[in-house]
Structure 1
Amino acid sequence: MNTEDQKWKEKLTPEEYYVLREKGTERPHTGKYNDFFEKGYYVCAACGNKLFTSDAKFDSHCGWPSFDQSIEGSVKYVRDVSHGMIRTEVVCSQCEGHLGHIFEDGPKETTGNRYCMNSISLKFVPED
């Protein structure tokens, strides 16, 4: 195991490591932010980078927290050809932790995007 991997294993829980560093996915409808709609913002669970505001969150009924936009510059997009399909992976722009995927089936009255994120990849910071 390289030094970088060891650093993440010491910092993250095994579940966080699996999703954020190994590109895993939590089971649908199990994440703590799936049905959570408090005011504030969401940061990367690995590095604290500010990713999404609560104003961008919506209920997509897909089983994972969904947002129609990210905070500008907070994420990067990676072509994902795993599991026999072509998708766009969303990673943190600071630590490159896996957050989820983006799809074009979000609210048409806003961006049309659905950032389908893993709750375990996020931490919520309440509004002051």
Structure 2
Amino acid sequence: MAFCSWQGAEHYKDHFKPGVYVCSECGYELFSSRAKYEHSSPWPAFTEPIHKNSLKKVPEVGRPFALKVSCGKCGNGLGHEFKEDREDGGSRF
């Protein structure tokens, strides 16, 4: 299944079948369905990437608890990592 970025309808927000979410531009593996969880945001939410190099992250000016996130292979924009945003204190992608 392809990762559906914020630019269109979010087909995978409420999708919880087993699988791997990949970059819609290059097909690189981003997240496992095992790392997906329900969240109040309008986008799919994940606890961690599938590989250490699945994502590139850069600080976003003016948002100390958010990082801009892109595909680790092609640089396709994916949204943000929100630090300490989960109940357990972990990050949300």
TM-score, normalised with respect to structure 1? 0.60
Structure with the bigger percentage of helix:
1
Q: Is residue 77 of structure 2 the alignment partner of residue 101 of structure 1?
A: no
Give the number of aligned pairs.
86
Which residue in 1 is equivalent to 2:53? Answer: 73
Question: What is the alpha-carbon distance in structure 2 between the residues aligned to residue 107 and residue 90 of structure 1?
Answer: 21
**Cα offset for 1:106?**
2.0
Residue type of the alignment partner of 2:22 = V
Q: Give the unaligned 5+ runs of structure 2.
A: none
Q: Which structure has the greater CA radius of gyration?
A: 1
Q: 4+ residue runs of structure 1 moved beyond 3 angstroms? A: none
**Greater relative CO, 1 or 2 (CA 8 Å, sep 6+):** 1
Q: TM-score, normalised by structure 2?
A: 0.81
Aligned-residue identity in percent: 37
2:90 alignment counterpart: 112
Mapped to 2, the partners of 1:65 and 1:56 lie a distance apart of 11
- Displacement of 1:73 in angstroms is 1.2
Aligned CA-pair RMSD: 2.0
Instruction: Tell me which of 23, 42, 55 is aligned to 2:34.
Output: 55
Which ranges of structure 1 fall in alignment gaps of 5 or more residues?
A: 1-15, 20-24, 116-128
Cα distance in 2 between the residues matched to 1:88 and 1:38: 27
> Using the alignment, how far apart are the partners of 1:77 and 1:39 within structure 2?
26
SS across alignment from 1:94:
coil
